[in-house]
Amino acid sequence: MLLHLTPTRKYSPELLIWPRMHRTCRDSGLKWAVVAIFLVLSSGYAGYPYFTLWRLDTAVRQADSATLRTLVDWYSVREGLKEDLCDLPAADTPENQACAGLAPFGASFVRGVTGNMLDKTVTPETLVSMSRAGHGQSDPSTHVVWAFFSNPTQFDVDVRAKGNVQPIRMVMELRNMRWRVRRVWLPDDMLERANSGM
């Protein structure tokens, strides 16, 4: 009996290599897409606080108190300033001189009055009116000295006000996907002016 053998089909080298190349190109394309997405997200994250700082500066220059209200946690800023006022040396502030001769209840009352004064004066509207009164809108009264991340959710900014040697330090924090100013440290002379009624 004769066996009839059909010749085996010959494959060209190109047909053997093509599926592997196709898979490699597809994997490479996927890796580049992941890298591109990562770079876009990283750039957006790194640029977001700088964009918020620019919006803050623009809002002050354009007297936009509504935007200032959204970019600053005014309650937190006022509470921090109250703490700083309490830490001023007793000889330097009328508040602490008054507190020195009072009973604890009287001292806390005076501090409460100062706190109420800060609650009324440290507002977006006051900041806008101070910036307008001090200079024309085209004349920048402040400039950024330093701005950088201190941790992934905190961004530190040093701003020098016109005529002041010491900078104003601000801390912005990322909460609920928004950067907002949460804390402000004023130079001592500005803090004393704030304590005496601006």
| pTM more than 0.85 | no
| pLDDT tens-digit profile, the chain (198 residues) | 455 555 555 555 554 555 555 566 566 777 888 888 988 888 889 999 999 999 998 998 888 989 999 999 999 998 888 888 777 665 444 555 555 554 454 445 545 556 677 777 788 887 777 666 555 444 556 788 999 999 999 999 998 877 777 888 999 999 999 999 999 998 877 777 666 654
* Domains in the chain with CATH codes: 48-134+141-195 (3.10.450)
Percentage of the chain surpassing pLDDT 70? 62
Q: How far apart are CA 94 and CA 79, in angstroms?
A: 19
**pLDDT tens-digit profile of 9-46?**
555 555 455 555 556 656 677 788 888 898 888 888 99
